[in-house]
Structure 1
Amino acid sequence: MKKRTVYAWGVAILSFVVLMIVTPAIPQSEAYHDFADQREFLGIPNTLNVVSNFPFLVIGLIGLVLCYYGDYFKFSLQGELWGWTCFYIGVAAVAIGSSYYHLKPNDARLVWDRLPMTIAFTSIIAIFIIERIDERKGTISIIPLLLAGIVSILYWRFFDDLRPYAMVQFLPCIAIPVMAILLPPMYTHSTYWLWAAGFYLLAKVEEAADKVIYDWTHHIVSGHTLKHLCAAMVPVFLTLMLAKRTVEPERQSLLKTWKISWTKFRKTDGTVESDGTVESYTCTYSTVPVVESQ
């Protein structure tokens, strides 16, 4: 193992230990289970919060089938196939685990809601490492990352402390957009990562505004139901990305692409010369006599 890799793991572990020491424990609030929309239709408790998980099952199964349907996704690396397989298994399992939880919300059932999500989160991190950093390191990291996610759930359940789970959930939300922008991609259509991140961010906002949205919509739909639907758009966009993308012949980061596009735009609108200098224009105005009508 290279020294740089050892240093990276050392810094990560040290940062985690320091964070656990300097921050207080975050217990699971019982109020979390008190969702705004608790209506029952057709004998199904919390109906909309349950059935709104169905899209996860659909897109999870579709993605899983397409991973092995000939060469539909055109994976270049074996590690990619394993990573995306874990991701789609996690997505499909979200539908089952979250539905089970929302039928009777409590801490014991919440484990099965969060466990599939950690599988999806950690798989995505491994996929990014495979595609943008190193295939071997990324492939090897799949199992440790999955285990880290599972351990974070168990730690919360046994010690009533959400800090490790919060890191597993929210660090990818920061790391993935940053890596998508800064690291050169192996494939085209990298902007789909940002669309996916945007929908997930919107989902978290809707989750936080559960009761507010329920009141705004005059008790038609709650924020948590909309959160499920928005979160399901994440695998939808990633599946579209996999279907459309091709190998990038000239690997350059989104940041560099945006810089080049901005430079070209400034040149075409006449504000920048080819050598980068700004054109200046001088305007002169003449006085026009005005004759008043008699």
Structure 2
Amino acid sequence: MNRQLWLIAVISFIVISVALALPPLSQPLDYHEFADQRSFMGIPNFNDVVSNLAFLFSGGAGVMLLLRINQRPSQKTFQQLQECIPYGLLFLGVIATTFGSSYYHWMPSNDRLMWDRLPIAICIVALLSATLVDRVNIRIGLWLLPSLVVLAIVSVLYWHWTELQGAGNLNLYIVTQFYSILLMLWISFRFPSRYTHGSFIYSIIILYGLAKVAETLDREIFTLTHYWISGHTLKHLIAAYAAYRIVYVLNKRSIETRKLR
């Protein structure tokens, strides 16, 4: 296992170094031109703004579940209660996405987009930490969590700072997001979960991919549904459902005694 962890560390260092060395990739200005710009009840971009309430529901359900688990003397969701820390940060990040994304979609701009991306980046690295805790090693997963959160925050702030300098660079943010997803997938292939329902991580990654596809096909989906729902609104709903799937699995899972290490 130590050899594989060192391999992950070396590859991660190389990937981040390459991201910083590559030519800067700036934020396209037309990114903010979403398909559904309809207003309702005085709320601009109504569907893209209000659909963020789904994150509040999913994140709130997750926080409430963790509070209930911590009050159960005989809980079976976590082998050690400290394992809930990455999930707690994840669900708080999902709640924060409600406000950050709503703030951005109310009046889309690069300055506001920073507040949308910050909680999303934190959610992704929190899930990576939780995956390490569940499958690799509790101590390592928790030990890496602060560093991963710092990396997520820096990746967004660095992009925003470079935009202010007139030469935006998304490379580090893109790597932080997509490499984390690939790393979760690789870890899940290589290390069995210590809990039942461990394969749920694959459905989360699939939902993440579907959300990205919906975002890319924003206008096409809006036209296909006869202007009922846009791809970006659908992205919010899919991503919020992915977060709720985590809540659902945590509520059902238990320690897989045959895989205890």
Q: Counterpart amino acid of 1:196?
A: I
Q: For residues 14 and 195 of structure 1, do their structure 2 counterparts lie closer, same or farther at Cα, with a shift above 3 Å needed? A: closer
Between the aligned partners of 2:35 and 2:23, the Cα distance in structure 1 is 29
Q: For residues 4 and 247 of structure 1, do their structure 2 counterparts lie closer, same or farther at Cα, with a shift above 3 Å needed? A: closer
Between the aligned partners of 1:192 and 1:38, the Cα distance in structure 2 is 35
Matched, 1:225 2:233: yes
1:240 matched to which residue of 2? 248
C-alpha deviation, 1:5, in angstroms: 5.8
Structure 1 alignment gaps of length 5 or more: 253-294
Between the aligned partners of 1:4 and 1:235, the Cα distance in structure 2 is 29
CA contact (8 A) 1:73 1:243 kept: no
Q: For residues 4 and 74 of structure 1, do their structure 2 counterparts lie closer, same or farther at Cα, with a shift above 3 Å needed? A: closer
Matched, 1:110 2:107: no
Secondary structure, aligned partner of 1:246: coil
Between the aligned partners of 2:64 and 2:5, the Cα distance in structure 1 is 35
Between the aligned partners of 1:227 and 1:10, the Cα distance in structure 2 is 33
Matched, 1:100 2:103: yes
More helix by share: 2
Between the aligned partners of 2:254 and 2:79, the Cα distance in structure 1 is 10
Between the aligned partners of 2:4 and 2:230, the Cα distance in structure 1 is 47
1:119 matched to which residue of 2? 122
Q: Deviations over 1:35-88 (max 9, x none)?
A: 000000111000000011101001111111211212367322243121111000
2:151 matched to which residue of 1? 148
Q: Deviations over 1:72-115 (max 9, x none)?
A: 67322243121111000001111110001000000110011000
Q: Deviations over 1:99-144 (max 9, x none)?
A: 0100000011001100010111010111111111111111111110
Secondary structure, aligned partner of 2:119: helix
C-alpha deviation, 1:7, in angstroms: 6.5
1:182 matched to which residue of 2? 190
Between the aligned partners of 1:235 and 1:4, the Cα distance in structure 2 is 29
Q: Counterpart amino acid of 1:15?
A: V
CA contact (8 A) 1:59 1:236 kept: yes
Between the aligned partners of 1:202 and 1:109, the Cα distance in structure 2 is 24
2:45 matched to which residue of 1? 46
Between the aligned partners of 2:242 and 2:180, the Cα distance in structure 1 is 13
Between the aligned partners of 2:62 and 2:138, the Cα distance in structure 1 is 21
What TM-score do you get using the length of structure 2 for normalisation? Answer: 0.90
CA contact (8 A) 1:67 1:73 kept: no
Q: For residues 73 and 118 of structure 1, do their structure 2 counterparts lie closer, same or farther at Cα, with a shift above 3 Å needed? A: farther
CA contact (8 A) 1:50 1:98 kept: yes
Q: Deviations over 1:177-209 (max 9, x none)?
A: 332233111100122211111111111000000
Structure 2 alignment gaps of length 5 or more: 163-167
Higher relative contact order at CA 8 Å, sep ≥6: structure 1 or structure 2?
2
Between the aligned partners of 2:112 and 2:76, the Cα distance in structure 1 is 35
List, as ranges, runs of 4+ consecutive aligned residues in structure 1 with deviation greater than 3 Å.
Answer: 2-11
Identity of matched residues, %: 34
Secondary structure, aligned partner of 2:227: coil
What TM-score do you get using the length of structure 1 for normalisation? Answer: 0.80
